[in-house]
Structure 1
Amino acid sequence: MGTTTRYRFREYNVTTDPDPLALPIFEAVCITGEEQDCGAASGELHTPEELTRWIAGHCAQTGHQSYEQTTRTVVRAEPGAWQ
């Protein structure tokens, strides 16, 4: 017979806030295509406006209309107390 292992987890309160010294990163990849995605990528941009301009330009050149958008930010964790 096997043994049973039990794990107990306590809740740890953590708050996160955007790091004011780090720029957010916005990226998009064109996923237009029937058999295969286009795959054109914006690269890392630092404002939503830059990303919108890239998407608009790619759309104007290709007519592609479907994009996967990613937004990343650096956050700082402020630990709280165990509960």
Structure 2
Amino acid sequence: MSDSARTGTPVRRRYRFREYRVTAVVDPMTLPTFEAICVTGEDHDCGATSGELHAEEELTRWIAEHCAQTGHDFYRRTTRATLRAEPGAWQ
């Protein structure tokens, strides 16, 4: 029979969780990628995309050219990098 059944009071339990620390390090052997999608529009987004580019300057140039051609001024930018997890210690 549990303690709560005998005494009528709920049993309190304490759980302790340990944290595992992981450090994410950018892999120096890979290039980051940048991409932009035009999200200008009232009923729906324009949807034009730069595709994956490996230099931030190329992305800025694509945005400037698309803006000049269409007048669109809102973009969603994504930056991707390959990371390596370096395990740390339990805390």
> TM bucket by the smaller chain?
0.7 to 0.9
Where does structure 2 lack aligned partners over 5 or more consecutive residues?
1-14
Matching of residues 1-83 of structure 1 within 5 Å: 9-83=17-91
Which protein shows a greater Rg? 2
Q: What secondary structure does 1:60 align onto?
A: helix
Q: What secondary structure does 1:55 align onto?
A: helix
Where does structure 1 lack aligned partners over 5 or more consecutive residues?
1-6
Q: Tell me, in whole angstroms, the C-alpha distance in 2 between the residues paired with 1:30 and 1:80.
A: 40
- Looking at both structures, which has the greater relative contact order when contacts are Cα pairs under 8 Å and sequence separation is at least 6? 1
Q: State the percentage of identical aligned residues.
A: 71
Deviation of the 1:13 alpha carbon: 1.1
Give the TM-score, by structure 2 length: 0.79
For the aligned residues, what is the CA RMSD?
1.5
Give the residue type in structure 2 aligned to 1:76.
R
Deviation of the 1:8 alpha carbon: 5.5
Give the TM-score, by structure 1 length: 0.86
Q: Tell me, in whole angstroms, the C-alpha distance in 2 between the residues paired with 1:9 and 1:50.
A: 46
